[in-house]
Structure 1
Amino acid sequence: MQDKAAIIGGGPAGLAMGRALKAFGIGFEIIEQNADFGGLWNRDWPLSPVYDSAHFISSRTMSGFDGFPMPEDWPDYPRHDQILAYTRDFARAHGLYEHARFGVAVAAARPTADGWDVETADGERRAYRWLICANGATWDAKTPAIPGAFDGRIRHARDYNSADDLAGRRVLIVGCGNSGADIACDAAQRATHAGLSLRRGYWFIPKHFNGLPTDVYAARQPNVPLWLRQKVLKRRLRKQIGDLARLGLPEPDHELLETHPLMNDQILHHLRHGDVAIYPDIDRLEGREVVFKDGARAAFDEIILATGYDWSAPFLAPDVNPFDGGRAELPLCVFSPERDDLFFISFIKAAGSSITLFGEMAWIIARALRAAAAGGAEHAKLRAEVARNDYDLLKGLRTVASSRHEAYVNRDAYAAALLRLRRRMSWPKTESADA
């Protein structure tokens, strides 16, 4: 057995993990099925959900790997190709290429008495002491069953690439997360008719407030209770955006911040100019027509399902796979309740930059591996903490009852939980050169 960790996935999560383990002097290999790092930002990967018009939805100022800021001359919200270049620059800066195995997909990871047996698609098997799943949470498309039959094209948003594909077509986008809103904007510019089917109302948050990126603006506000933050922000949104019911949008059936933030200015522009038509939820399909819940019907050439993603670790056997039955809440979103040699770093959803979250998670996992390597009281204490799992990751935030928001966390609550773990474990408040 190699006394090292196997990190499955070379996206931002895997790179953050590699940097942390290298700082701790723990051996590791990053197993990446593509020819280079990048994860979902690598559009050469057939399952990448990134499309031509994709941009970051958190600002460059508040995003990225700790200690490795994005260039100041970049736009507030970088393009997808800039994020790809940034991740690879990070990998080069931290010497992670020399720890990578590219072009090999993991076929199976099997637990053994003292670690993991990892088999790649080429038939090679290697043994590792630890397994860290960094294989991403935005690639396994969730496709709802819609009654009836459709004579046009139906595809998931993951398989959408360019507005050029929509030219001259009547297109219906189902779902209004950030991808759905982006694709609706593309359709507004190129399609003959652009429709957006909504199951519920949404809070639309602009990408700038008072001339600042919204997350920068929010970070500068006083630290007040959640209910007061919701009240103040709603008032400011009403003043800046106006009544969205005028644009045909249904009223939200939930409080502000109780769903993942929808950050898009362009969709409001197109709604105000009549470029996008709003439809209710779909009832059934009949040939080229879509019949909606209110009885209305309209003809379309294409339906794009912006209906989210399942969380998957398909290389894990069901008895050790927490996502075998769907999304799952893991202790602090990183620990396996059953095994002390299995960790997860991709599987978290919260407002704000995922890359930044991955960095925070990586340092905790690195500490856990060092404790496991040393054994003794610290390791036993950590396993007791994992078993107790009494960390509140919402702190009063109620999320809507949807699969998209299962295992969702409040960013502030999550940061407080990690700090609480550090205090209980007598770990330093933040990582530094003493790691």
Structure 2
Amino acid sequence: MRVAIIGGGPAGLSAARELLAAGIDCALFDRQTALGGRWSRGEHGLCHDSLTANVSKELLAFSDFPMDAALPQFPSRAQILAYLRAYAAHHGVERVARLGYEIESLTPTSPNSRLTRWRLRARHRHDGGLIDEYFDAALVCTGAYATPRWPSPTVAQLAEQPSLRERILHAKDYRAPEPFAGERVLVVGSSASGCDIAAELSHAAASVTLAVRSPFWLLDRFDAAGRPRDHALTRLNYLLPAFLRERVARRLLGREQAALAKHGLPTPRARVDQTRVVQSTRLREAIVEGRVGVRPSLRTIETSAAGLIATFFDGSRLEVDRVLCCTGYDPDPLPWLHASARPSASPEGHVGLLRHMVSPRYPSLAFIGHVQVTGPVFPVMEMQARWIAASWSRPSAGLEAEVAKPWHRHDQAAFARTASPEPWVDSPIPRVHYLGYLDSLAANIGCRPRVLGRLLTRPVQGWRLLTGPASAAMYRLDGRGRLPGEAQRMLTRAKVDARPQPRAAARLAEG
């Protein structure tokens, strides 16, 4: 079997690693001249220079390749890029990579057959060299999002006007705060990137205002004891009844949010699991210190002789010099993929893929990373790749029988607990809960950790699995692809790194 992998970011790298480990021949294509995908700084990178991870390094790491212990708890963009390239070198992914190639088309050779082969055409962006090859299967690992989303069609039209292109920007255009020095800046959107960019701009701009569409929880990245807050993402926490999780979370989060309410950031009234949670120590400090103001959702933008005038939904108005829209991205339209193979919407309005991966029409086509994750995303991409490698290394008849079931009913039954209800997200890309989704996929391929068995036979290890940070290394303890020695070392280190530390040291560890 020969597989084409399209995309050289974390999804493509983990896919190549797992296919090679399963003995499946593959070739990886990427338009950039170096691996790393959108974590790169190049033409197609979407990460600003000072970006840091919004999850801690223990949870972000792949299951078999820990991040360097010397890295800060929340690594920078450059450190994550170096980690991804080290991962690729360690697993021999570089030898199957074909870099600098723009995909022109990916077409099924037999559109009416469920087990079709694939014809891939790609042209080198510099020397014009053409690749025209056939593959038994294809993996699309380019990421779910690509097209910038604007707050409204009116703002999008204004941003296209030549005279306003430098004054109304999208987050994809942001790299550093220096070009905004001395200006009045309005940041629209309270995503993790919007919060971090607003905090960074507050040190250079004359004033920074953050327009918030709906209330959200804004937390310090570390708890009162100096531990990364996302280390509370444990298996025990996930297994608690929903009403108990809600009661505990609202009490803890409410205390932290109270300090921000008097500065204009309201406390959410909806359930915690239906409200956005953002970890940004820097923005909390910027709001309390008055360097970032908070306004409600943006209604319109008008031009004036002195600058831009923003009108908000509470009727207030604000004159600014520049507007930076951190309002996310729409799904990648995948123009090079044959129309019959593009994901279509399910009856629930989500992209319809078996187990959020496999095309229901063509079992030999799958999409890695086309989900939103409540939790760290790298381990989810890796588990998807492990599932694909396990499935595609079986006889084709087995995979055909698996996908013959109606995909929507199958997914509803198999992933009933993995859904993460977040009504503020207007996107066809489904959102899943980190542990629930990983457990569902891991159970299919036999690598779900046997927590109960370990509690009975190895109580210390079992308790660590239940109450420690939910590192992906736990999925290397049992079953297919098991690496028990390495997994135990990673889990032990995650537990050690999770120990309380002085608050000042914790802030330095943020990076």
Check whether TM > 0.5.
Answer: yes
2:272 aligned with 1:256, yes or no?
A: yes
Q: CA deviation at 1:225?
A: 1.9
Match of 1:61 in 2: 58
Match of 2:505 in 1: none
Q: CA deviation at 1:396?
A: 7.2
2:481 aligned with 1:431, yes or no?
A: yes
CA distance change for structure 1 residues 208 and 189 in 2, over 3 Å: closer, same or farther? same
The 2-side partners of 1:269 and 1:93 are apart by 40
Letter in 2 for 1:213: P
Matches within 5 A, 1:326-405: 328-371=351-394, 374-376=395-397, 378-384=398-404, 387=407, 388-389=410-411, 390-394=413-417, 397-404=420-427
Match of 2:17 in 1: 19
Q: CA deviation at 1:340?
A: 0.8
Does structure 2 conserve the Cα–Cα contact (< 8 Å) formed by 1:39 and 1:136?
A: no
Q: CA deviation at 1:52?
A: 2.0
Match of 2:218 in 1: 204
Match of 1:40 in 2: 38
CA distance change for structure 1 residues 282 and 217 in 2, over 3 Å: closer, same or farther? closer
2:221 aligned with 1:219, yes or no?
A: no
**Secondary structure of the equivalent of 2:432?**
coil
Matches within 5 A, 1:222-237: 222=237, 223-237=239-253
Match of 2:183 in 1: 169
**Secondary structure of the equivalent of 1:269?**
helix
Does structure 2 conserve the Cα–Cα contact (< 8 Å) formed by 1:329 and 1:407?
A: no
Does structure 1 conserve the Cα–Cα contact (< 8 Å) formed by 2:350 and 2:428?
A: no
**Secondary structure of the equivalent of 1:204?**
strand
Does structure 2 conserve the Cα–Cα contact (< 8 Å) formed by 1:146 and 1:283?
A: no
When you count helix as a share of all residues, which structure comes out higher?
Answer: 2
User: Of residues 76, 80, 105 in structure 2, which corresponds to 1:79?
Assistant: 76
**Secondary structure of the equivalent of 1:127?**
strand
**Secondary structure of the equivalent of 1:208?**
coil
CA offsets, 1:290-331, max 9 Å, x none? 112222111111111111112213321232111689961422
2:104 aligned with 1:111, yes or no?
A: no
CA distance change for structure 1 residues 393 and 50 in 2, over 3 Å: closer, same or farther? farther
Alignment coverage as a number of residue pairs: 425
CA distance change for structure 1 residues 47 and 375 in 2, over 3 Å: closer, same or farther? closer
Q: CA deviation at 1:430?
A: 4.4
CA offsets, 1:124-181, max 9 Å, x none? 3111111100012343222243537586511110110001121111111110000000
The 2-side partners of 1:260 and 1:106 are apart by 36
The 2-side partners of 1:261 and 1:330 are apart by 27
Letter in 1 for 2:213: R
The 1-side partners of 2:345 and 2:173 are apart by 24
Does structure 2 conserve the Cα–Cα contact (< 8 Å) formed by 1:139 and 1:158?
A: no
2:338 aligned with 1:317, yes or no?
A: yes
Pick which of 301-310 and 227-236 moved more.
227-236
CA offsets, 1:20-63, max 9 Å, x none? 0001100000001111110111111x232211220011111112
Q: Percent identity over the alignment?
A: 27
Q: CA deviation at 1:269?
A: 0.6
CA distance change for structure 1 residues 138 and 214 in 2, over 3 Å: closer, same or farther? farther
Instruction: For structure 2, list consecutive stretches of 5 or more residues without a partner in the other structure.
Output: 111-115, 448-477, 485-511
The 2-side partners of 1:309 and 1:191 are apart by 25
**Secondary structure of the equivalent of 1:195?**
strand
TM-score computed with the length of structure 2 as normaliser: 0.78
Pick which of 270-279 and 396-405 moved more.
396-405
The 2-side partners of 1:238 and 1:433 are apart by 41
The 2-side partners of 1:105 and 1:163 are apart by 32
**Secondary structure of the equivalent of 2:423?**
coil
Letter in 1 for 2:196: D
Matches within 5 A, 1:296-307: 296-307=316-327
TM-score computed with the length of structure 1 as normaliser: 0.91
The 1-side partners of 2:146 and 2:152 are apart by 18
User: Of residues 147, 151, 155 in structure 1, which corresponds to 2:169?
Assistant: 155
Does structure 2 conserve the Cα–Cα contact (< 8 Å) formed by 1:185 and 1:266?
A: yes
Letter in 1 for 2:371: I
User: Of residues 274, 278, 299 in structure 1, which corresponds to 2:294?
Assistant: 278
CA distance change for structure 1 residues 136 and 323 in 2, over 3 Å: closer, same or farther? farther
CA distance change for structure 1 residues 391 and 110 in 2, over 3 Å: closer, same or farther? same
Does structure 2 conserve the Cα–Cα contact (< 8 Å) formed by 1:63 and 1:353?
A: yes
Does structure 2 conserve the Cα–Cα contact (< 8 Å) formed by 1:154 and 1:303?
A: yes
CA offsets, 1:239-286, max 9 Å, x none? 344353212013325321324531111111111111111112222222
Does structure 1 conserve the Cα–Cα contact (< 8 Å) formed by 2:102 and 2:122?
A: yes
The 1-side partners of 2:2 and 2:400 are apart by 20
Match of 2:469 in 1: none
User: Of residues 87, 91, 94 in structure 2, which corresponds to 1:90?
Assistant: 87
Letter in 2 for 1:97: E
The 1-side partners of 2:81 and 2:172 are apart by 17
